[in-house]
Amino acid sequence: MSEPPVTFSFDGREITAEPGQSIGAALIAAGHRSWRRTRRDGRPRGVFCGIGVCFDCLATVDGRPNVRACLAEARPGATVETQEGAGRDDLAC
């Protein structure tokens, strides 16, 4: 028997992911192409390389900025938010 889908919130909307799916893959599957804006020009960014090398897919996850959405597994009840620029560096670990 397969595992049930996982749900998390993205900017206040519920997103469904397959067990083990990355946040980035789940967002793309749900039709979202960007979830970060650059510091300088506010340009939209999302998954570019998909393997954690480029840092274009950064998001704020459960209040923690600079999480690479292409590497982070979608977890039940997680709160994912669009990251503006560098995020809140005061919250970075």
Query: Residues 21, 73: contact at Cβ < 8 Å?
Result: yes
Domain holding 67, by residue range, is 6-83
Does 1 reside within a domain?
no
pTM value is: 0.86
The pLDDT value recorded for residue 89 is 53
Residue 28 placed within a domain: yes
Number of domains comprising the chain: 1
Beta partners for residue 17, in sequence order: 6
Mean pLDDT of 44-72: 92
- Domain membership flag for residue 68: yes
Instruction: State the first-to-last Cα distance of the chain, in angstroms, to the nearest integer.
Output: 38
Specify if 89 maps to a domain. no
- Kindly state whether residue 24 falls inside one of the protein's structural domains: yes
Could you tell me if 68 and 47 are in contact, meaning their C-beta atoms sit under 8 angstroms apart? no
Q: Is residue 88 part of a domain?
A: no
pLDDT cut 70: percent of the chain above it: 90
Q: What pLDDT is recorded for position 91?
A: 47
What CATH number did the domain enclosing 27 receive? Answer: 3.10.20.440
